[in-house]
Amino acid sequence: MNVYGKFIWEQVMTELLRLQGIEAGYGNAIVLEDIDLSLREGETLAVLGRNGVGKTTLMATIMGHTRIRRGEISWLDKSLRKAAPHLRARMGIGWVPQEREVFPSLSVEENLAVAALPGPWNLKRIYELFPCLEQRRNNKGNHLSGGEQQMLAMGRALMLNPRVLLLDEPLEGLAPVIIESLAATIRRMEQEGMAIVLVEQHAQLALRLTRKAIVLERGRIVHRAVSPTLAADGATLARLVGVHCAPQDSRLAS
């Protein structure tokens, strides 16, 4: 696609999510300051930065779990400031939290069914995406491995049929073969037109899975880039992200 074609394509994409001048945190503590970002239909965004810079707080703010002290957050040009988290989910914002938060006493199938909203993502499609979940559909959530729990958390979020999917450290602590499988799943969702915000400590992998990126430092956005450009800029990655910019397994590069 030439530059003109890319420009026209971006213009027709619907803007889903916008944050303008957001200052947010927990109670009286301010974590995020002056956050401006937008996400259009089908866009993928990597959120990078060292530990403790506000990446998870940014995701929690989008979902309505923090106190916004200043600024505006909107969904399809309508304010989200007063929308409860469950209403944001019903509007089309799916979230896979870092802790996964599967229901331990419910079976795999019950975990999926409890989140179901009308749309193309249903039990059949989730089981096609994650065959091991179908094999364990009667197992309780607390009887699954870490990788299986992550698949279940992603599957449950997809059952909401979201237009934007927030993924907070989805690959943390998993075996390489599971990372490879989940990375392929993220690519598939992106190819099907889902907008994705990905928080990930493995910077190079996150940049391979997204089109654009931001870097947070002390609760502020200090760098914006096209993902392939930032992936090739080792000096900037080393300065802003630190030790988490080492190249990943070559099998994940494509």
Domains assigned to the chain: 3-90+191-252 (3.40.50.300)
pLDDT at 242: 82
pLDDT tens per residue, range 143-179: 999 889 999 999 999 999 999 999 999 988 888 988 8
pLDDT at 251: 41
Measured distance CA(133)–CA(181) in Å, rounded: 13
- List the beta bridge partners of residue 221: 216
Does the pTM surpass 0.75? The reply is yes
For residue 4 the two structure tokens come to 């003109």
Q: Are 49 and 217 in contact (CB under 8 A)?
A: yes
Residue 112's Cβ-side half-sphere holds a number of Cα atoms within 13 Å equal to: 26
Helix 146-158 vs helix 176-191: crossing angle, to nearest 10:
10
C-alpha 181 chain-centroid distance:
16
Secondary structure class of 41 (helix, strand, coil):
coil
pLDDT tens per residue, range 187-223: 989 988 999 999 998 899 999 999 999 999 999 999 9
Residues found in the chain: 254
Secondary structure class of 239 (helix, strand, coil):
helix
Q: Are 45 and 70 in contact (CB under 8 A)?
A: no
pLDDT tens per residue, range 88-102: 999 999 999 988 889
For residue 171 the two structure tokens come to 């690959």
C-alpha 145 chain-centroid distance:
21
pLDDT tens per residue, range 126-146: 999 999 999 999 999 999 998
